[in-house]
Amino acid sequence: MEELRNLLNEKYPGIDFDTEKELVDNGVLDSVEIVSLISDIEDTFDITVTMEYIQPKYFQSVESMWEMIEELQ
């Protein structure tokens, strides 16, 4: 999960991923950013994010993203 945290902090330095738990619902990450993030996650963790996982609930926070990554590995 540390790797994920580093990736996020590097990509979006302006966002505090420790406190933000509703990244999608609060509009912190928009659809363009999510697509770009998916691409980076796929490259870093060598997974393929299928449509089943492209849902708000998996991108709301670092924790939920990690959950998704684990399921896909």
Point out which residues bind another protein (CB under 8 A): 27, 30-32, 34-36, 38-39, 49-52, 54-55
Nearest to another protein of 39, 44 (CB atom): 39
Q: Which helix (H) or strand (E) holds 37?
A: helix 31-45
Residue owning tokens 């619902």: 25
Q: By C-beta, is 11 or 18 nearer to another protein?
A: 11
CB of 53 to another protein, least distance (A): 9
* Closest among 41, 53, 32 to 10, alpha carbons compared: 41
- C-beta of residue 18 within 8 angstroms of C-beta of residue 9: no
Q: How far is the CB of 38 from another protein (least distance, A)?
A: 7
